[in-house]
Amino acid sequence: MKLLDSKELKEKINSGEKFIVDMYAEWCGPCRMMGRVLDDLSIKLTDENHEVKLYKFNIESDKEMATSLNVRSIPMLVGFNEGKNVSVKVGMIPETQIMDMVNNL
C-alpha cells in the first residue's frame, strides 16, 4: 500500500480517482493492526485489477492537511470518489466493512 505525501494526496483527490486513504500515525497501535489488514486487502484489490485503490497518509507529516480532512481520531479510513469525501470509518474496522466501503465507492 503506497504512502502518500500531502501533494500526492491532493493530486489523487483532484484527479477524481476512487480510493480509500488510511489516516494513521506511527505511534498508534490500532493503526498498526489495521495497517496489516489494509496491506493484505490492497494486494487483493490490485491482483483483481479493482478500480478502487488503497493508500496511507501519516497525519503527523502534515497536520494542516489532516485537519482539513477532519481527522479527529485514528485509525480513520476516508473514501473519495470524484474528488469528494464520500465515506468515513473511524476505529478498528473488520475487512468486511472495508470491502463494503470499497464496493460503495
Cell of 18: 476512487
Annotated active-site residue in 31, 34, 41, 69: 31
Phi, psi of 29 (to 5 degrees): -60, -50
Q: Is 31 a catalytic residue?
A: yes
Active-site residue (options: 1, 4, 21, 28): 28
Separation CA 30–CA 102 (nearest Å): 21
Does 45 qualify as catalytic in the annotation?
A: no
Three cell numbers at 86?
464520500
Q: How far apart are CA 32 and CA 46, in angstroms?
A: 21
Residue 7 burial class via C-beta count within 10 angstroms: exposed 0-12, middle 13-18, buried 19 and up: exposed
Catalytic residues: 28, 31
